[in-house]
Structure 1
C-alpha cells in the first residue's frame, strides 16, 4: 500500500487514525483515547499495527507467510510514513 494521506478523527472517548492508500485502500485504527495530539495518535496507531502483525500467531490468518517472515518484516520496516494529512 502506497500511503498518500493520514487522517486523525476524535470522537466520544475515541481517536481514529485512518491511513489512505493510492488505490483507495484504507486502514483505520480506533483507540480508546480522546484529546490526543495528532502526531502522538499517528505514532500509537503505527505501533498497534506493527504489534498486530508481529505477534499474530493464528496460522489460519497467515496464508502462505510464516511467523518468521512476518516478524522479520515488522522489525525491518513499519511500512508507514505520514506525508499528507487533512
Structure 2
C-alpha cells in the first residue's frame, strides 16, 4: 500500500488513526485514548500494526507474513521496537 494520507480523529474516549493508500485502501487503528497529540497517535498506531502483522504468534492468522526473517526486517524498517508477547 502506497500511503498518501494519514487522518487522526478523536471521539468520546477513543482516537482513530486512518492510513489512506493511493488505490483507495484504508487501514484504521482505533485506540482507547483521547486528547492524544496527532504525532503520538500516529506513532502508536504504527506500533500496533507492526505488532499485529510481524509478531502474530498464530501462523494461521499470518497469511503471507509467516517468514521470521521478513518479520524482523519489517520491524527494523519501521523504526519501532517490537514487544514480545509472553
Q: TM-score, normalised by structure 2?
A: 0.80
Corresponding residue number in structure 2 for 1:44? 44
Q: Please list every run of 5 or more consecutive structure 2 residues that lacks an aligned counterpart in the other structure.
A: 79-86
Provide closer, same or farther for how the CA distance between residues 68 and 6 of structure 1 changes in structure 2, counting only shifts above 3 A: same
For 1:33 and 1:12, how far apart are their aligned partners in 2? 9
Give the structure, 1 or 2, with the largest relative contact order (CA under 8 Å, sep 6 or more): 1
Cα offsets for 1:3-38 (capped at 9, x unmatched): 000000000100000000000000000000000111
Q: Where has structure 1 moved over 3 Å in runs of 4 or more?
A: none
1:53 aligns with 2:53: yes
For residues 1-86 of structure 1, the aligned pairs below 5 Å read 1-78=1-78
Aligned residues: 79
CA distance in 1, matches of 2:71, 2:44: 19
Flag structure 1 segments of 5+ consecutive residues without an equivalent: 79-86
C-alpha deviation, 1:70, in angstroms = 4.2
State the shift of 1:63 in Å: 3.1
RMSD: 1.8
CA shift for structure 1 position 76: 2.7
